[in-house]
Structure 1
């Protein structure tokens, strides 16, 4: 099974993805972890690294190629990244999008990173704007187009345990033997 979990910063995707991977005994591959490691190697914050990626498209292309290769070549994986659903394309069994209002997401990031809320709001807005711009330019992906996702949840409405319960029920109910209703991913330019 190949599951993808995507969403903006602070949406709960890492927490949810880790719990789902454990619940279904899947390898968990996190694009965010890889991106943060690459930023730290250059002694940069993720926001600074995002802005550098606007000038050096190879940063995104290398990361995205790695994630796409995982989706195409491996089984029993949960792929977590902002673009995981798009990168996995039709290889994904289920594509999940998690979100929450900006203020909720920023409060979560503030708690996690121990930064002032106003700084987190400003950084999150810059980061999301930077990423959206690059996704459009590089791959013709409009990140706010959620039509490819099988499941879309506002994580502010449930606890992490509640989210896991709902998603586990949905995944357990999934019938891999049918392609009826499978949403194709079209119009993406995978030019890595």
Structure 2
């Protein structure tokens, strides 16, 4: 089996940007639990945050997405390095190289806000319906708290507990290229 690299982290930290760069660098396959969540929300006519709020006391969707994502990662790892992006995939794939990418809440919200200013990203991200950066910061705080509460309740794990990870990176004061290089440097050492 080839290595599986799991990426967790906080909203707006650059998880997807880093995941895409790793896919390219290592000619890897990508599993994206967040994309599965976003699609489920769209299919139900909800935003991502609305779906998470609706499922706060119902583990069904979380379990379905996380199980599907981890099974897909294992399947793909038979032939390829896999980059598996999801808040709790480290928990379902314990032998993975586990990365946690974090950012200050306000900085993460600013990054999401900038991304949402591009029309094509509004539909793709399917974030909360917000009309200001200030409102998005509040929604991001709510989302972080909701994620922690759900995963603690459903899986008895706090995905923000950095002791779960092999590598933790704070991207608050660095750009995407710097963050990606730091992650690549770490992974290259692990793969030797």
TM bracket (short chain): 0.7 to 0.9
Q: Work out the CA distance in 1 between the residues paired with 2:66 and 2:137.
A: 26
Aligned residue in 1 for 2:92: 87
Aligned residue in 2 for 1:32: 34
Q: Work out the CA distance in 1 between the residues paired with 2:59 and 2:189.
A: 40
The answer on whether the counterparts of 1:71 and 1:87 sit within 8 Å (CA) in structure 2 is no
Aligned residue in 2 for 1:185: none
Aligned residue in 2 for 1:68: 70
Aligned residue in 1 for 2:173: 157
Displacement of 1:15: 0.5
1:50 to 52, 59, 77: 52
The answer on whether the counterparts of 1:135 and 1:143 sit within 8 Å (CA) in structure 2 is yes
2:190 to 155, 160, 174: 174
Q: Please give the TM-score of this superposition, normalised by the length of structure 2.
A: 0.85
Count how many residue pairs are aligned between Structure 1 and Structure 2: 174
Aligned residue in 2 for 1:101: 104
Aligned residue in 2 for 1:184: none
4+ residue segments displaced more than 2 Å: 70-74
Q: What are the ranges of 5 or more consecutive residues in structure 1 without an aligned counterpart? A: 177-192
Report the RMSD for the aligned CA atoms in angstroms: 1.4
Q: Work out the CA distance in 2 between the residues paired with 1:175 and 1:117.
A: 40
Q: Please give the TM-score of this superposition, normalised by the length of structure 1.
A: 0.85
1:5 to 7, 10, 17: 7
The answer on whether the counterparts of 1:99 and 1:155 sit within 8 Å (CA) in structure 2 is yes
SS across alignment from 1:153: strand
Aligned residue in 2 for 1:119: 135
Q: What are the ranges of 5 or more consecutive residues in structure 2 without an aligned counterpart? A: 118-130
